[in-house]
Amino acid sequence: MATPGLEQALTRPGLRPLPSAAAELLHDLDAPPRLGAHLRAVHDVAWSVTDRLGRRAPDLPFDTTAVLFGAATHDIGKVLHPEELSGPGHRHEAAGRDLLIRYGVPSYLARFAATHAAWESDEAGLEDLLVSLADKVWKGARVESLEARVAEHLGGAPWEAFLVLDDLVQDLAGGADERLAFQAAFPI
């Protein structure tokens, strides 16, 4: 049974709900409330990114469901490494992928737990980049090299793709204070 804090983090109005499979997993793991709030914030941004990009370029080859699940579970390994909820660390990445696989999540979805911080890798595809982008933008962070990699996938003139993405990211980054306050309202 989830703690009341986790339940509030997963249901308080203001952000889109997580996919039910992700929410159930957080309940099963009795995840820290702060983690639930963080995953909701990143998922909410990923939803906006995929929605806007999907409407702008309906033929853009990405699996929206995979991106949203990846955003909703990318830091799940912090259940095993709670010190990384309030400090730096990368141990949660591989641990999160392995945890998801142990819970029956297919590897193509579990991968985001390991790849969300490895967006500079040549193997990072558009879906991985979108999860990484959401994980930066939720708090208002702008990473030019990450945004450039995403823009490469948009097609058309490079400057036009970058401008479209820049407008999108700038708009989403504008809501960072509310998302940061939402996350901070829940204990680690």
DSSP label of 146: H
Give the per-residue pLDDT at 76: 98
Number of domains comprising the chain: 1
What tens digit of pLDDT does each residue of 15-73 get? 999 999 999 999 999 999 999 999 999 999 999 999 999 998 888 999 999 999 999 99
Give the per-residue pLDDT at 159: 82
Give the per-residue pLDDT at 133: 98
Give the per-residue pLDDT at 57: 84
pLDDT band at 98 (very low <50, low <70, confident <90, very high): very high
DSSP label of 76: G
Instruction: Read off the pLDDT of each residue in 175-183 and give the average, rounded to a whole number.
Output: 97
More confident residue, 91 or 59: 91
Tokens matching residue 49: 């990114």
How far is the C-alpha of 181 from the C-alpha of 14, rounded, in Å? 11
Give the per-residue pLDDT at 32: 97
Give the per-residue pLDDT at 1: 54
* Nearest one of 111, 124, 24 to 70, comparing CA atoms: 111
- Write down the pTM of the prediction: 0.95
- Cβ contacts of residue 153 below 8 Å, gap of 6+? 60, 126, 129
Tokens matching residue 133: 């982008």
pLDDT band at 83 (very low <50, low <70, confident <90, very high): very high
Tell me the CATH number at 126: 1.10.3210
The domain in which residue 142 lies consists of 4-184
What tens digit of pLDDT does each residue of 106-153 get? 999 999 999 999 989 989 999 999 999 999 999 999 999 999 999 998
* Nearest one of 81, 74, 85 to 135, comparing CA atoms: 74
